[in-house]
Chain A
Amino acid sequence: MIALLPGELRTHFPRLMDDMHELRLSAVRARHERLSSPINRLTVVDYFDSLDPLYVLALDEAERVVGALRLLPTTGVTILNDALAAGLPDGVRVESPLIWEASRLTLRRPGDCPTQEPAMDRTIGELGVALNEIAKAAALTHLVAVYDDWTRRLLSLRGCAGTALAPPMRFDGVEVFAAVYEVGAAMDAQFRRLAGDAARQRINLAELVRLRGLQC
């Protein structure tokens, strides 16, 4: 199941936000397991979270967050343009109202999941289908995804790592990759295949508007 969470409403959904931060924390721990530096929640909340992104969360049957990412328009401040610009071709920003950035893609590691690989497939599939639906609703042409090497390998194995946009870059001591997804039927099919039955449930944009109406 997919939940859309507007960043500006994070305080209304403390449990989901906590779950997402826990997920990020476990990913950071797994990446830095040999490092001695302390890792706490501040490590997993960055400046880009303060820009009120749209969070896309994949939930399991128990409504635990098993996958998460955030979306920001490239016309504003993004990881790719503002933290990794030096690694972009010619150092020029990728900036268009029709291109959004998906970042902090985090997935529950197989060891934490009882059903392991099928659950991972489903989570990736659900997130991808939801991304395509959101992008279509916003009339976007492309999504630019920024992810780490572990995620890249996971996506590559499943044939859905997108098209590489730039050579590998380093961010916060980690090798990161930027890839392009073109919004449309091909992207949908790619992820729907992985999501299986879970893709039947459509994202609820009306609910998103209703939620955003809460903010004043």
Chain B
Amino acid sequence: MYREDVFDLIDQLARAERRPIRRSLLSEFLQATGVSQVAYVAFNLPRRRAARPLLSLAHAMSWRNSYAQAGRVDIAPVLRAGLGGIMPVDWRVLDRDDPIIRKLLGEALDLELGGDGVSIPLRGRKGEYALFSVCLHQGASFSMSARHDLMRRFMVMSAIFHAKMRDAFEARSDGGVRLSDRELTCLRLKSLAQSDEAIGRALGAGPAAARLWLESARARLNADTIDAALAQACRTGLIRVGAESPDAAAESMSVAGAPSIDRRAR
């Protein structure tokens, strides 16, 4: 990406007609996660009109100006490492002995952006790609497991944010979500408080497969947790809690022929 492109982009965005949906999405994300600084840049977003990149930032104007005027986009390690790849970049692994990185992070700290964060590359099925960066609060420290949980949360939230952005650009609504029989069975059984082992057995597989289909259902529903996915599935009538026993729910899967799948692999 060239500096001129980003200048143009910022200029276009500054002059563009404001779209409330974009702002509310970012605000929702900030509110939900409790982080203060988010940056999102997307390319090749599918849209009806001519394709244009989208840049959305929660950073202070002082940082934007400083960043743009100093041409930081050409050297920003996060952008260089994040765009194009698939691995999330945990800023802790950036080489802090590198003078460029030290200077950039120093400036970020001066402007109270925080020198710690994660950047998550996003890939879409329609060829779009994006980078979602979150600055963590200055002074915040996390244990390894908390950091891992946080990273997972950001992975989920960034994908939801991206999906909503893509749908907004495509003028699509969430109305037509279709879940597979397996996903529905897993949600039904989960809502009946069945264990992952029991759900896996109903699928003719194991608990790992049950958790995979639950995760897949969660992502398809754009819910941030499995519990939220369950609530949404109940609310929208995708599943009906209390309408059937666990045995009946499991039976519906057997009819779909799932158990035969794993026999051969075993």
Contact = CB atoms under 8 A, between A and B. Distances in A.
Contact of B264 (A71, A77, A100, A164): A164
B265 A164 contact: yes
A182 to B, nearest CB: 4
A52 to B, nearest CB: 6
Contacts of B219: 75, 95-99
B211 A142 contact: yes
A80 B14 CA distance: 41
Interface string A64-89: 00000001110111000110000011
A139 B216 contact: no
Contact of B180 (A89, A139, A167): A89
B41 interface: no
Nearest to B163: A75
B86 A73 contact: yes
Contact of A95 (B84, B85, B125, B182): B125
B193 to A, nearest CB: 21
B208 A6 contact: no
A76 B166 CA distance: 13
B74 interface: yes
A156 B208 CA distance: 17
B159 interface: yes
A138 B80 contact: no
A100 to B, nearest CB: 8
Contacts of B209: 163, 165, 180
B261 A216 contact: no
Contacts, number: 168
Interface residues of B, number: 57
Nearest to B127: A77
A94 B216 contact: yes
Contacts of B167: none
Most buried by B among A76, A82, A93, A142: A76
B164 to A, nearest CB: 14
B169 to A, nearest CB: 16
Interface string A117-141: 0000000000000000010111111
A157 interface: no
Contacts of A181: 208
Contact of B155 (A88, A139, A182, A216): A139
Interface in B211-250: 211-212, 215-216, 218-220
Contacts of A100: 86
B53 interface: no
B87 A98 contact: no
Contact of B205 (A76, A77, A99, A164): A164
Contacts of A182: 208, 211-212
Contacts of B220: 95
Contact of B74 (A81, A89, A97, A216): A216
Contact of A6 (B84, B156, B218, B262): B84
B93 A94 contact: no
B123 interface: yes
B155 A98 contact: yes
B86 A71 contact: yes
Contacts of B218: 96
A212 interface: yes
A33 interface: no
Contact of A97 (B85, B158, B208, B264): B158
Interface string B172-213: 000000111111000000000000000000000110110110
- What 10 A-B pairs come out closest when comparing CB atoms? A76-B123, A96-B219, A164-B265, A139-B152, A97-B159, A92-B180, A182-B208, A90-B180, A139-B151, A212-B81
Given A6-B84, A95-B216, A209-B95, 11 more contacts: A98-B155, A98-B215, A100-B86, A137-B87, A138-B87, A163-B206, A180-B209, A182-B208, A209-B77, A213-B77, A216-B1
15 contacts: A8-B84, A52-B86, A53-B86, A54-B85, A75-B124, A75-B219, A76-B123, A89-B181, A92-B179, A97-B155, A164-B264, A177-B265, A212-B81, A212-B84, A213-B80
